[in-house]
């Protein structure tokens, strides 16, 4: 996870090895985890069974208006309306529940075993066919977890093992060494009275911070529906030992959720090494405005041609020519598409959204647009702790919501457009105080 406690030092560059990558620190934030889930249907459906519960009960329903976390009244709309977040203050308790008491949140270890990779822009031609298959025909390859994010540097792909089989190895593909497991925090209906904030607002202190303290590598993937936390498979014993005191932990096996205890993984638990000192990385804020939205799966074919055009053919320069250093702060190329267990999430800039049929884009009625805070002056790699903490603490203190998307080279936080000036000021103050 790219965060950690204390003061931060200047970045010195990072290797791409996976060991010790820690993305969010103990101060962790509403920027990554501070979105309030009080929106209608914003939290996963409560469990109603006994120890073994079906995944259908464990995951939220997406059908119908008002079920998205984007807002209490999800609507199909044009360029204006976009998902919004309610601004209730984070739960000061900050956890799934007090130790020794009933946990208010459950932690689920999903079945997906995910690979994280980078596709070079100049090699996109080699992967267009399998990517189209993953985008529009996942049933052909049994892929249930797929995310594709275009940045100026490359295309970051997060996908499960079935999807990974579709991508041929080549010089254009870099693959992170580790296999990653997917965690999801869900409400079980035992929140204490007066606890307004739910879900990811609590993850900051109850999940992200403890894992950072135990030097567990974490990637974040925010979607329209929820937030996913990715941890290395080999770190699972540490994850369970670290979080068992705050959560009831379940592992999905053959579609059912089976309780997990520390005893189940005691043989693989090693005392964690002390976390490295957190690092201060530069941030940028391009002028581009973004939308976060979804579409109903049955309407995906209706926008397929436009998606293909936007992802593969709408570049100002040929994709084989690097655009890494050519873009300034006025604009940035960023497009993210996720198809995870049948649920679609899309992040695109507001101008690109105008190219799509407005009646097919499911948004919320709040009308929010989002601005980006891009973290890292050079590729971040997978080793360093403390990266996200530079925006975590000030945004958490200011109660500013954000989506968070990790990519192979850089991190990206999306904050409400009306709050970007405050965010930049807070981050500048953080940098000055750390010198």
Per-residue pLDDT of the chain (435 residues; tens, 9 = 90+): 554 444 333 334 444 344 444 444 333 333 333 333 333 333 333 333 333 334 334 443 333 333 345 443 444 444 333 333 332 223 333 444 444 445 668 899 999 999 999 999 999 999 999 999 999 998 888 999 999 999 999 999 999 999 999 999 999 999 998 999 999 988 776 655 444 333 344 466 677 778 878 888 888 898 999 889 899 999 899 999 989 988 899 999 988 889 988 776 655 555 555 555 567 778 889 999 999 999 999 999 999 999 999 999 886 555 545 444 445 567 899 999 999 999 999 999 999 999 999 899 988 767 689 999 998 888 776 666 556 556 666 776 777 888 889 999 898 999 899 999 998 988 888 777 766
Answer whether 146's CB lies under 8 Å from 138's CB: yes
Helices (H) and strands (E) in the chain, counts: 11, 21
pLDDT at position 398, please?
Answer: 78
Q: At 367, list the tokens.
A: 């009308």
Strands in 270-363 per DSSP E: 279-280, 283-284, 289-293, 335-340, 343-349, 362-363
pLDDT at position 103, please?
Answer: 62
DSSP state of 363: E
Q: At 334, list the tokens.
A: 């960023």
Predicted model pTM = 0.75
Residue 128 CB burial class (10 angstroms; 0-12, 13-18, ≥19): middle
Residue 271 CB burial class (10 angstroms; 0-12, 13-18, ≥19): exposed
Q: What are phi and psi of 403, to 5 degrees?
A: -90, 160
CA 231 to chain centre: 12
- Which secondary structure element, helix H or strand E, spans residue 222, and what is its range? strand 218-222
**C-alpha angle with apex 424: 422 to 429, nearest 5 degrees?**
95
How many CA atoms lie less than 13 Å away from 419 in the CB half-sphere? 24
pLDDT at position 330, please?
Answer: 79
Residue 330 CB burial class (10 angstroms; 0-12, 13-18, ≥19): exposed
Is residue 203 classed as helix, strand or coil in its secondary structure?
Answer: helix
Nearest to 338 by CA among 256, 225, 235: 225
């Amino acid at each position: 996870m790219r965060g950690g406690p204390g003061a931060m030092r200047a970045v010195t560059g990072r290797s791409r090895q996976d060991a010790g990558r820690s993305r969010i620190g103990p101060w962790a934030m509403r920027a990554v985890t501070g979105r309030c889930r009080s929106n209608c249907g914003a939290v996963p459906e409560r469990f109603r069974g006994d120890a073994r519960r079906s995944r259908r009960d464990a995951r939220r329903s997406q059908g119908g208006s008002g079920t998205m976390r984007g807002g209490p009244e999800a609507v199909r709309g044009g360029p204006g309306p976009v998902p919004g977040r309610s601004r209730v203050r984070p739960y000061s308790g900050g956890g799934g529940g007090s130790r020794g008491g009933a946990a208010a949140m459950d932690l689920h270890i999903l079945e997906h075993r995910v690979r994280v990779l980078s596709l070079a822009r100049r090699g996109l031609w080699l992967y267009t066919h399998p990517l189209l298959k993953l985008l529009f025909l996942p049933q052909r390859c049994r892929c249930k977890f797929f995310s594709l994010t275009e940045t100026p540097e490359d295309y970051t792909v997060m996908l499960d093992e079935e999807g990974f089989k579709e991508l041929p190895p080549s010089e254009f593909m870099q693959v992170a060494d580790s296999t990653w497991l997917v965690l999801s925090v869900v409400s079980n209906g035992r929140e204490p009275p007066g606890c307004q904030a739910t879900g990811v607002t609590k993850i900051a202190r109850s999940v992200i911070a403890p894992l950072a303290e135990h030097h567990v590598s974490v990637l974040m993937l925010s979607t329209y529906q929820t937030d996913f936390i990715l941890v290395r498979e080999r770190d699972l014993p540490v994850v369970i030992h670290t979080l068992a005191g705050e959560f009831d932990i379940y592992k999905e096996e053959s579609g059912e959720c089976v309780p997990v205890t520390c005893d189940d993984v005691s043989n693989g638990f090693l005392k964690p090494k002390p976390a490295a000192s957190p690092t201060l990385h530069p941030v940028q804020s391009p002028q581009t405005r973004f939308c976060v939205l979804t579409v109903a799966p049955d309407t995906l074919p209706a926008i397929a041609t436009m998606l293909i055009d936007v992802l593969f053919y709408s570049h100002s320069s040929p994709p084989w020519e690097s655009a890494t250093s050519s873009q300034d702060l006025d604009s940035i190329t960023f497009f993210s598409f996720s198809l995870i267990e049948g649920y679609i999430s899309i992040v695109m800039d507001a101008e690109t959204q105008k190219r799509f049929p407005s009646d097919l884009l499911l948004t919320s009625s709040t009308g929010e647009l989002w601005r980006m805070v891009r973290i890292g002056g050079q590729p971040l790699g997978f080793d360093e702790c403390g990266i996200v903490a530079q925006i975590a603490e000030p945004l958490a203190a200011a109660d500013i919501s954000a989506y968070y998307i990790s990519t192979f080279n850089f991190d990206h936080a999306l904050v409400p457009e009306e709050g970007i000036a405050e965010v930049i000021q807070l981050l500048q103050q953080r940098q000055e105080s750390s010198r």
